[in-house]
Structure 1
Amino acid sequence: MTDLFKAIIMGIVEGLTEFLPVSSTGHLILTGHLLQFEGDTASTFKVVIQLGAILAVLVLYWKRFWGLVMSIPPNGLKRTGLNIFHVIIAMIPFLIAGFTIYGYMKEHLFGPTPVLVGLVAGGILMIAADRFGGTVKAETMDDITYKQALGIGLFQCLAVWPGFSRSGSTLSGGMLLGTSQKAAAEFTFIISVPLMFAASAYELYKSREFLTIDDIPLFVAGLATAFVVAMIAIVTFLGLVKRLRLSWFAYYRFALAVLFFIVLYL
């Protein structure tokens, strides 16, 4: 199997899983291991193709994001519904974690075994959020407070462990902090865009020394595939995140972990 064909398969996996609480990074690592698509270039590829999924979001919802960018409250930090400060506050913890410990995580934990652990641990957190979520105080995104946004951002830091899932962590954190599942899902969707742009740009910068012009077709193929598949997946799957209980996604994660454990180790 050629690397180009592997890149297309990885792009399909990314597009299908990026916006579900099942860990797109975990799926990419496990798929890459099965396809023997690993190494420094492959690790960077797995991060950069997420741009394809993010670009799909911007194309589909550009008016919504433009309105958010322009939503600086006239009274500064005084809350007037969801605004750009909510997004910034939620991003800060993850950016700090990314710049301080992501390098260590990438070097030591971007492998099948840590991913399987992350899938199970993240699933347990999601079941806990389903069963023990606090009293709903924020039914919609406009009801989310700055304190809740910060808390969601802190939960999001769990996603530096591959397999834990950024969206799974933020959905669980939001529900435990008193947001509805719908509000948490929509807020997760919003903050994913700037974060993934930042993560991809940072990864490209850090990996600039060993990437060559010969890698361009590989990256373009994966990114374009992720873009097309994500366009379809967003329309098809995003509603599931708002309607289905998190426990259903947790059970899928458990089943996936067991399946890959059997394939890889038995």
Structure 2
Amino acid sequence: MSNIVTSIIQGIVEGLTEFLPVSSTGHLILTGKLLGFTGDKADTFEIIIQLGAILAVAVIYWRRIWSLLGFHQVRSTNNNEYESAHAGPKLNLLHVILACLPAMVLGLVLHSFIKSYLFSPYTVLAGLVLGGIFMLIGQKKQAIVEADGIDQLSYKQAMLVGLYQCLALWPGFSRSGATIAGGLLSGVSYRAATNFSFLIAIPMMFAASGYELLKSYDTLTSSDIGFFATGFVVSFVVALLAVITFLKLLERLKLAPFAYYRFILAAVFLAYLLMTA
């Protein structure tokens, strides 16, 4: 398969799955195996297209980001889900720091272990199943809602979401799945949990991608520019559409359909691995 086709496929996979509770890392590892696209170059490519997905979310949440940085406050003029995430001054940088710090610290400490032992197809399949179970628990055991909007989140709830986010250090578990389900268990509404999950994804993914890119930049060559640029652009466009669509549908769909999808994907891919072993 040509490099450009592989780039487009992986860009679509990243854009569709990065912010859905299905695990983008897990999908990239599994599709990479199907496409025969593995190794150092594949690892670096995944970092580049993740940056494309991050940019998409930064575009959607630019007003909120601008406000968090202290430049000005912006209030929403309508009630749609993603605009409501931009309104009000109550959410601040401390909420974001509390939600990001646990996973950043633990990820740095366990980086070598995770890379060495948790990036195989079988561990990803285990992560898909465990993450799906956790999402069903979050939906079934949702606490009484104390924060209906993102600006109503307490510091304690932000920290709890951050602790739940540590579960996503296991590839296949899903960062958005862990944080949204964790938010529900912490008394945060679906809308607020989803908006907060997407917002904290920006510093989390920039930190993780930046760290990985610094470690693997020497694998890049000028001949890879077109290949990497294609994946970046495709990931950005697809992620932009996926995030807006998901924000509009989550309160109706809930988490269960995504959990069941994860179970089916794990079963199908396990059968494939056993058949091709």
Q: Note the aligned Cα RMSD (angstroms).
A: 1.8
> Hey, what's the Cα distance between the residues in 1 that align with 2:7 and 2:115?
20
The aligned runs of 1:167-178 (5 Å cut-off) are 167-178=176-187
The alpha-carbon deviation at position 137 of structure 1 amounts to 1.2
SS at 1:170's partner residue? helix
Any conservation in 1 of the 2:91–2:153 contact (CA below 8 Å)?
A: yes
Report the equivalent of 1:69.
69
Any conservation in 2 of the 1:47–1:200 contact (CA below 8 Å)?
A: yes
For residues 72 and 148 of structure 1, do their structure 2 counterparts lie closer, same or farther at Cα, with a shift above 3 Å needed? farther
Which residue identity lines up with residue 131 of structure 1 in the other structure?
K
Which residue identity lines up with residue 45 of structure 1 in the other structure?
F
> Hey, what's the Cα distance between the residues in 2 that align with 1:176 and 1:72?
32
Deviates more, 1:45-54 or 1:151-160: 45-54
Deviates more, 1:190-199 or 1:63-72: 63-72
Q: Indicate whether 1:215 and 2:224 are aligned.
A: yes
Residue 94 (structure 2) aligned to one of 50, 63, 85: 85
Q: Indicate whether 1:265 and 2:274 are aligned.
A: yes
Any conservation in 2 of the 1:185–1:242 contact (CA below 8 Å)?
A: no
- Overall identity of the aligned pairs, in %: 54
Report the equivalent of 1:17.
17
For residues 236 and 158 of structure 1, do their structure 2 counterparts lie closer, same or farther at Cα, with a shift above 3 Å needed? same
Count of matched residue positions in the alignment of Structure 1 and Structure 2: 260
> Hey, what's the Cα distance between the residues in 2 that align with 1:255 and 1:153?
28
> Hey, what's the Cα distance between the residues in 2 that align with 1:208 and 1:198?
15
Report the equivalent of 1:42.
42
Report the equivalent of 2:205.
196
SS at 1:20's partner residue? coil
Residue 192 (structure 2) aligned to one of 154, 173, 183: 183
Any conservation in 2 of the 1:182–1:243 contact (CA below 8 Å)?
A: no
Which residue identity lines up with residue 152 of structure 1 in the other structure?
V
Residue 247 (structure 2) aligned to one of 206, 215, 238: 238
Which residue identity lines up with residue 46 of structure 1 in the other structure?
E
CA displacement, residues 234-256 of structure 1 (integer Å, 9 cap, x when unaligned): 23233223432211211111111
> Gapped runs of 5+ residues in structure 1?
74-79
Which residue identity lines up with residue 127 of structure 2 in the other structure?
G
Q: Indicate whether 1:205 and 2:214 are aligned.
A: yes
> Hey, what's the Cα distance between the residues in 2 that align with 1:57 and 1:231?
7
Any conservation in 2 of the 1:170–1:188 contact (CA below 8 Å)?
A: yes
Residue 169 (structure 2) aligned to one of 160, 163, 168: 160
TM-score normalised over the length of structure 1:
0.92
Report the equivalent of 1:2.
2
Deviates more, 1:13-22 or 1:133-142: 133-142
SS at 1:168's partner residue? helix
Any conservation in 2 of the 1:72–1:84 contact (CA below 8 Å)?
A: no
For residues 123 and 187 of structure 1, do their structure 2 counterparts lie closer, same or farther at Cα, with a shift above 3 Å needed? same
> Hey, what's the Cα distance between the residues in 1 that align with 2:251 and 2:40?
36
> Hey, what's the Cα distance between the residues in 2 that align with 1:20 and 1:2?
28
